[in-house]
Amino acid sequence: MQGCYTDFEKQIMAQEIITDIFSRVRKGPVGFFVPGWFFNRRVQITRAGAGFLILIFFVGFAAINTGNNLLYLIVGVMISLLLASFFLSESAIDSLLLERILPEQVQAKREFSITYRLANKKRWLPSLGIMIEDEVDGMPCQVFFPGVRAGFCEFQRATTRAQTRGRLKMGSLNISTHHPFGFFYKAKQVNLAGELVVCPRVEKASSEMITPPYLSGEMRRASKGEGSELFGVRDYLRGDSPRLILWKISAKAGKLTVREHEEEKKRAVIIELMLYGARPEQDDPIREETISRAAGIASYFLDEKYQVRLELGARGVDFGEGLSHLRRILYYLAVFDDREDPWLGDRLEPVALISRVAV
């Protein structure tokens, strides 16, 4: 990819600079002159680092006892490597721009992917061995970037799953590294607010859940369409198919006349969701299973080319068909009882002579 930044990235970089200045000011009068990495870093020495430090101690003890100049030289090199590991690890996680790309909708207890975009804003130095440590619904989610060249960005995907239906708030995450020698674990926290809509799991509809395929209630639309029944006649317009021309009527009238067909009948079904009360603090397995069953029934009838309506009392999702309508139903089932911001759906008008499935 080209080593340049979009206007959106420049705005984020400017916001980071402003936020960094205000965070230092809040630390006190001296805080403004202290580098930002002093506040937002977590440093731990690793087992390899601890072992190397012990080795430095023993070699240094031997150098003092023997007075051997070679041992002093070795101790100096070892200390230099330890200090280089500390400062180069700081360079690896500094000046990075991270973006978390979430899918629009996911299903509970089903695997999905999150894409992470990492841009290296440094002018010369690459960032190597970068680990992104995220959390999804209490489950750890990690992705590793082997290296990002200066002025470039890389993409990596992580596979995870969410256990809870509803709106899932995504918060801060960690950028960490063990580069270059693995002596130190160094991490910084990045605030990336986001929201993920976790839909209920679509349970496969069994024969006991579904009414017979020939439903008694059908919807007929008295409108133009591509059906086989005649809707009416009108004058020929440019672009009409010649197959629609009524030649006998056109000859009598002295002008071209075409026929219009009525839209085909649409089989329809209403799914009644029999749930009451607010969502409990601890999810009820029976309630969640009922919602998953409703999603499965809606998916089945939409696959069978039905028009589907989902009702909960006098509100819900009105008639529709196709994949986009299924997504709307799943979104409603995900957030209709949200504890903070529920979406009650559309206000529905009573409809007669339509087959109903109670869940």
pLDDT in tens, 57-66: 999 999 999 9
Residue 253 lies in a domain: yes
Residue 156's pLDDT is 94
Residue 7 lies in a domain: no
Domain co-membership, 273 together with 334:
yes
The kind and range of the H/E element at 43 are strand 42-45
Domain co-membership, 190 together with 325:
no
CA nearest 95: which of 144, 25, 152, 29?
152
Which is more confident, 359 or 192?
Answer: 192
Residue 19 lies in a domain: no
Q: What's the pTM?
A: 0.71
**Residue 187, phi-psi category: left (phi > 0), alpha (psi -120 to 50), beta (remainder):** beta
Domain co-membership, 193 together with 124:
yes
Residue 175's pLDDT is 93
Domain boundary among 145, 167, 199: 199
Residue 212's pLDDT is 45
> In the chain, pLDDT over 70 holds for what percent of residues?
77
Predicted confidence (pLDDT) at residue 339 exceeds the cutoff of 80: yes
Domain co-membership, 189 together with 230:
no
Predicted confidence (pLDDT) at residue 6 exceeds the cutoff of 80: no
Domain co-membership, 79 together with 194:
yes
Residue 228 lies in a domain: yes
Residue 214 lies in a domain: no
CA nearest 36: which of 80, 93, 84?
93
Task: Find how far residue 152's CA is from the centre of its chain.
Answer: 24
Please count the structural domains in the chain. Answer: 3
CA nearest 233: which of 247, 220, 221?
247
Domain co-membership, 253 together with 138:
no
Residue 157's pLDDT band (cuts 50, 70, 90): very high
Predicted confidence (pLDDT) at residue 297 exceeds the cutoff of 60: yes
Residue 204 lies in a domain: no
Contact (Cβ atoms closer than 8 angstroms) between residue 311 and residue 273: yes
Domain boundary among 199, 230, 247: 199
Give the tens place of pLDDT for each residue, 122-150: 888 899 999 999 999 888 899 999 999 99
Residue 1's pLDDT is 44
Domain co-membership, 154 together with 53:
yes
Domain co-membership, 47 together with 166:
yes
Q: The domain containing residue 139 runs over which residues?
A: 40-199
Residue 237 lies in a domain: yes
Q: Where does the chain have alpha helices with state H? A: 7-26, 47-66, 69-93, 247-253, 285-303, 323-335
Domain boundary among 167, 199, 231: 199
Residue 105's pLDDT band (cuts 50, 70, 90): confident
CA nearest 43: which of 109, 97, 101, 90?
90
Predicted confidence (pLDDT) at residue 237 exceeds the cutoff of 80: no
Residue 1 lies in a domain: no
**What is the CATH classification number for the domain harbouring 109?**
2.60.40.10
How many C-beta atoms lie closer than 10 Å to residue 100's C-beta? 19
Contact (Cβ atoms closer than 8 angstroms) between residue 78 and residue 51: no
Domain co-membership, 292 together with 340:
yes
Residue 56's pLDDT is 93
Q: Which two tokens stand for residue 61?
A: 């003890």
Domain co-membership, 61 together with 185:
yes
The kind and range of the H/E element at 170 are strand 166-170
Domain co-membership, 48 together with 87:
yes
Which is more confident, 85 or 3?
Answer: 85
- Name the β-bridge partners of 186: 43, 177
Predicted confidence (pLDDT) at residue 3 exceeds the cutoff of 50: no
Domain co-membership, 312 together with 287:
yes
Contact (Cβ atoms closer than 8 angstroms) between residue 170 and residue 100: yes
